[in-house]
Amino acid sequence: MFRKSEAIGAASVRRTLACLILLCSIPAAASAQGTTTAIRLNQVGFFPTAVKQAVVVDAPTNAFRIRTPDGVRTVYEGTMAVARTWVSAQENVRLADFSALQEPGSYVMEVDGLGTSYAFEIAVEPLQRVAVAAVKGFYFQRASTRLAAQYAGQWTRAAGHPDTSVKVHASAASASRPEGTVIASPRGWYDAGDYNKYVVNSGITTGQLLQLYEHYPAYFDVFATNIPESSNTLPDLLDEVLWNLRWMMTMQDPADGGLYHKLTTANFEPMVRPSAATDQRWVVQKSTPAALDFAAVAALGARVFRPFEATVPGLADSLLDASFRAWNWAQANPGDRYSQSAMNAAFDPDINTGEYGDGSFLDEFRWAATELYLTTRADSFLYMYPPSVSGNASVPGWPNVASVATVSFAHHRHAAAAVLDTTELRRHLLGLVNQLVEGRRNNPYGVGIGNATNDFYWGSNSYVANQAYMTLAAYRWTRDARYLDFAVANLDYLLGRNATGYSFVTDHGDKVPLFPHHRPSESDGIARPVPGLLVGGPNAGREDGCSYPYPPNAPAKSYVDSVCSYASNEIAINWQSSLAYLAGAVAAHLTPGGLPLSTGRETGPEGVSSPGLEVWPNPAGSSVNVRVRMEQGMQGELALYDMLGRRTPTGGSEAFFGPGSHDVALDTANLAPGVYFARFVSAMGTRTVPIVVVR
């Protein structure tokens, strides 16, 4: 068991380390003026050709210079922009731009009368380490497994939360699984600083990581994070995603396709090792957003994993089947909100952990419909929930996934053209990102957050990263450099160019969180917290009521590096996925030779190598004609599925086909009237066409 005395011991070691890191990282000889925290910049590094900016608070002069940390060489001298007040931080600041400096090296910025900044790098691959650590952060969040030293270094730990005897809570009881039924629901990532696992928050998290792979496959095919699966033939990013996806699949009730909202203890467990946290775990009430987020992720996963059929046989089909079943459950149960207070009023035991209680589901319906359409090309999903391209897109978050769908449509815009006006889609996306770019231009820190004081809410760092997630979608579409600059600037914010002066990613920077609200870090007796984790960031709400003093009351400074501050200093997987996306995408774009914009794995009608599938007549009677077309040297399989994703035999007429064009007649005489899907799967992609059978 973890003891209080150990906690104090660990904390004091960390404080000593903080002193060492903060005050001693730049040798005294480096500067007569000493290190100042009034110069705020990305403490990790800059790409040679990218925009490079720093913020100087209360600068006594206009001039700044960049020099080597030993003071020997000055490599750049510049003049800062005019001073401006950042209301969100109650600060008077000037922007210093040194984008013209491209020479790789290690440097500091110096301002006379103020001092020198922390050291930073200009390098060819300055952020690769952060990108890897951001994805590796998910490995450290894995439930139900031991973390071996070979992969986890000093953060090795024993397995905890096997989740092989999870009980069905009264709120989730069903005929086939009455209250108290024991089920297995292992794996998954711990949500945050707590040890529970929540389907809704897993939705956007897993979705963004799958998109990261889908958008930058060439970069992530060779991206290595040193995890137990690194030696297999799946990209490490997808191996990591699978750890959670397999858990999510266990949260689906096999009887009806609905998803339990979360897997949780009744109360938050104490700050102990995972292996020492042994309270009974429950699956609770099914909810509509849980079903829909899962339907979206599983459909997206089916698309992304399809090319890896040989490594994970059947996975893509299982995911698509599971997605259909969750989608159908949500059609039948379109308004099941998770309200913890209502549930606790009706059932025992009371559950007092995180709620993720979203009350509006239209965005989840649309996201699920979008991913199901993009994977199957069956536009019936979109007839039910037409894509929304009116007004401007929004920055997504766990309760608002509308823009996750927008990003998928923007990526598959050729396929989207069959079902929506892509000029409108583009206007919808650019409407938002142009506003963001304009906001950044007017922002004294040159970043996307803080023009409105209510920008600083719980998890505001993910708002910063998700703004960039949207501008990156626009950049891939338009190649307008302002959108990539925006993403770089927001990443700079997370790595130090912000009003707190912290790099918000543990272990990456000079002034970093040492006391995140994170049970594994707090209970391990190790001075440094688990590396690569993004903390929530400034939060004017200060809901934790921490007695540890927050800085003076400015929204942009409402952050405290204290374990007590779960409202500003916790970590969470949905914030982590936004960082992984941002750091990974920026690195993919700016690393020489790392620009992986080909979407060769995209399924669908566009591109010469996609398979063809036509069906007539439709609606069909007792038989239906199907034409499949394949390129030279390929083979594909045709099969029919029902609305529940079950393979439906049609009297032996389904078959494998080689190259060329083939016509077959499927016998539908024995099928019940309804909607079916003809699906043609080949190495180059999948085509699915809905068939309506009438009598």
**Strand partners of residue 642:** 676
Would you say 477 or 504 has its CB closer to ligand 9MR? Answer: 504
Number of residues engaging ligand 9MR in binding (CB under 6 A): 11
Among 131, 192, 415, 588, binds ligand 9MR (CB under 6 A): 192
Q: Which of 418, 438, 420 is nearest to 430 (CA)?
A: 438
- Note the helical H segments in 306-442: 315-332, 340-346, 362-376, 380-384, 402-411, 413-416, 422-441
220 to 139, 316, 364, 594: CA distances (angstroms):
16, 19, 27, 9
Is 517 marked active-site? yes
Q: Does 191 bind ligand 9MR (CB under 6 A)?
A: yes
Task: Confirm if 293 and 543 have CB atoms less than 8 A apart.
Answer: no
Among 570, 577, 624, 684, binds ligand 9MR (CB under 6 A): 570
Q: Which of 285, 79, 264, 256 is nearest to 172 (CA)?
A: 285
Q: Does 455 bind ligand 9MR (CB under 6 A)?
A: no
Task: Confirm if 675 and 648 have CB atoms less than 8 A apart.
Answer: no
Q: Does 459 bind ligand 9MR (CB under 6 A)?
A: yes
Catalytic residue among 91, 163, 194, 256: 194
Report, in Å, the least distance between residue 189 CB and ligand 9MR: 12
Is 544 marked active-site? no
The span from the CA of 443 to the CA of 95, in Å, is 10
Is 561 marked active-site? yes
243 to 139, 141, 142, 238: CA distances (angstroms):
9, 10, 8, 9
Q: Does 355 bind ligand 9MR (CB under 6 A)?
A: yes
Q: Does 572 bind ligand 9MR (CB under 6 A)?
A: yes
Would you say 358 or 510 has its CB closer to ligand 9MR? Answer: 358
Alpha carbon 680 to chain centroid distance?
Answer: 30
Report, in Å, the least distance between residue 541 CB and ligand 9MR: 8
Helix (H, G, I), strand (E, B) or coil at 98: coil
Q: Does 358 bind ligand 9MR (CB under 6 A)?
A: no
Chain position whose Cβ is nearest to ligand 9MR: 354
Report, in Å, the least distance between residue 483 CB and ligand 9MR: 26
Would you say 202 or 599 has its CB closer to ligand 9MR? Answer: 202
Report, in Å, the least distance between residue 556 CB and ligand 9MR: 18
Helix (H, G, I), strand (E, B) or coil at 75: strand
Q: Does 354 bind ligand 9MR (CB under 6 A)?
A: yes
Part of the chain binding ligand 9MR (CB under 6 A), chosen from 225-233, 295-303, 349-357, 488-496: 349-357
Catalytic residue among 517, 522, 524, 602: 517
Two structure tokens written together for 593: 């030779």
Would you say 548 or 616 has its CB closer to ligand 9MR? Answer: 548
Is 112 marked active-site? no
Part of the chain binding ligand 9MR (CB under 6 A), chosen from 38-46, 124-132, 188-196, 303-311: 188-196
Q: Tell whether omega for the bond before 690 is within 30 degrees of 0, i.e. cis.
A: no
Task: Confirm if 377 and 688 have CB atoms less than 8 A apart.
Answer: yes
Relative orientation angle of helices 362-376 and 288-305, to the nearest 10 degrees: 20
Among 91, 163, 194, 269, binds ligand 9MR (CB under 6 A): 194
Binding site for ligand 9MR (CB under 6 A): 191-192, 194, 354-356, 458-459, 566, 570, 572
Residues carrying an active site annotation: 194, 517, 561, 570
